[in-house]
Structures are given as C-alpha cells and as structure tokens.
Structure 1
Amino acid sequence: MPEAKLQEFAELLFFAYRDFTGDPDAILADFGFGRAHHRVLHFVNRHSGLRVADLLEILNITKQSLGRVLKQLIDQGYIMQQAGAADRRERLLFPTERGRALAERLAAPQIVRLAAALEAAGPAPRRRCAFFSKP
C-alpha cells in the first residue's frame, strides 16, 4: 500500500480517537478528571478485584503516575482498595457504586459510536473479526 494511503488511514485514526474520547473528556472535565482517570476507572470497573500490579501492566504506566490518579479516585469515592486474601501485600481494586455509575456514564456515548460504526460497516467486517465471533 502506498505511504500516502497509509498516512490517510493514520489521519482517520486520529479523528476517530478524537471523537471517541471527546464525549468522555467533556464529562470528566466536570469532575476535574482527565483521560488517565477514565482509563483506570474503565479497567477497574470491567475487572473488579484487579490487582494494582496488573493495572500497571495493562496501562503501561509508572507506579507514580498511577498512584496520583488512583489516590484521587479512592479519596473521592470512585474506587476502593483492599488487601489480597492470600497475600496481604497485594492491593485489589474495586469500583464503588459511584465509580460504576461514572464508568457507565463515560462508556455510554462510546458504545453508541461503536454501535453506529459497526452498523454502518455492515455484517462483513463483523464476520471477519474474531472478537465478534466469540460466544
């Protein structure tokens, strides 16, 4: 594929990312939060009981970066932290009801965008994608 065409695709990805994150960004601004808060809240909500070590690996960020964001989310009642049952040094993260509600509010416009894009693409792309063929 010519480089110019690849550049066009790269540009489309920039626009898609801007639009995909725009609605949650506006919601997060009302709380004084940013995209890092969104990512942490998303993964903790989707994987309740996630270990801090696993979250660091998923997000590929430093302990210091996660620590600041996580402290805010815990202090403001969006996430709670518990010691592991088998290993008390483990820190497990759980969304609170408030955290679940915010995560769902942030995801709602993104889900609408994804559903519309998949609908517009038609059935062929969904058949080729292994993600959609899982039970």
Structure 2
Amino acid sequence: MPDPSPAATLLFLREEDLRQGVELLYFATRDFAAECDSILAEHDIGRPHHLALHFIARQPQITVSTLVELTALSKQSLGRVLDLLIERGLVSQRPGLSDRRQRLLTLTPAGAALEKSLSDRQRARIARAYRDAGAAAVDGFRKVLLGLVATPKDRQRFDRPAETGVRR
C-alpha cells in the first residue's frame, strides 16, 4: 500500500478542526483551573496564588525573579500574591545566601498541605483523561502541548523522556 500523500496526512488541519481545537483548549483550561476554585475560595485566594504555590512546591528556595519568569505575572502582581501567601502563613521567605537582596521562597507546612490538596485534584483529573485516552494519545497530547509552549527555555524543562504507558 503506498504512503498517503502529504495532503491526506494533513486532513486534521482543516479549518473546522483547528477552530474546534482552540475551543477545546479553552474549555479544558477553564475546567482544569475550576477544579480547584472551591478550595481556593475556602482560603480566600485565587488562581494566581495557586500558580505561585504550584511553582514554589516544585522548586523550594525559588527566587522571586525565577517565579516571575515562570508565572508570567508582573513583579507588582506577584508581589501582592506573595504578600498575601506570606501573611496567611502559606509561604516563607528568607534572604539568599550569596545575595541578601534575593528572596528565597518555600512553602510552610500549611502551604504544602494546601498545595497538595490542589495538585491532587488536578492530577486525578489528568490521570482520568490519560487513562481514557490511552498511551499513544498521551504521548501525542504531550507533543501538542510542547508545540504550544512559546519559548525554547520553557520547552527544555520537559526534555526528559516521557514515561511510556498509562497506569490504571
């Protein structure tokens, strides 16, 4: 059987499929973020606070400038977010060892517990979707998401080989 023509392999790039992909991404983003809104509301914080908690959990002792870079929040907006998280006892900060002007951020035990409850919900949602889609789809989804990430530096964060197979 001959290889399909390049035009035949690009049928998924029809206008309607692209429009649907954009819409699906909007709905998925909305629902994925909303998964945690009730917990955030209980703590009287919002999605930017969740974003900060997420990255601080993954990189203890993260600097504020690195957090600005990862979250794409302005320094001023992130400052307000961090002030509230520190005030609520969810994040602690200390000066850097070599540069005392740096602020190193870490989750407190209360912050770690809150972040875990938030990420557990989102991981469960992703796990369900992955199980339903199957291993090949998971790999394809990862490739699509990497293609949507704008900067090479951000894409490099995910250069490690993806684990194959989806656990049930």
Shorter-chain TM-score range: over 0.9
Structure exhibiting the larger radius of gyration computed from Cα positions: 2
Q: Give the share of equivalent positions with the same residue, in percent.
A: 42
What is the root-mean-square deviation in Å for CA atoms of aligned residues? Answer: 1.4
Q: Does 1:57 align with 2:88?
A: no
Residue 113 of structure 1 aligns to a residue in which SS? helix
Give the Cα–Cα distance (whole angstroms) in 2 for the partners of residues 75 and 124 of structure 1.
45
Structure 2 spans left out of the alignment, 5+ residues: 1-12, 143-160
* 2:136 matched residue in structure 1: 124
**Displacement after TM superposition at 1:123 (Å):** 1.9
Give the Cα–Cα distance (whole angstroms) in 1 for the partners of residues 114 and 31 of structure 2.
19
Code of the aligned partner of 1:43: F
Normalised by the size of structure 2, how large is the TM-score? Answer: 0.75
Code of the aligned partner of 1:86: S
Residue 21 of structure 2 aligns to a residue in which SS? helix
The number of residues matched between the two structures is: 133
- Match among 17, 37, 42 for residue 30 of structure 1: 42
* 2:27 matched residue in structure 1: 15
Normalised by the size of structure 1, how large is the TM-score? Answer: 0.92
Structure 1 spans left out of the alignment, 5+ residues: none
**More helix per residue: 1 or 2?**
1
Structure 1 segments (4+ residues) deviating >3 Å? 126-130
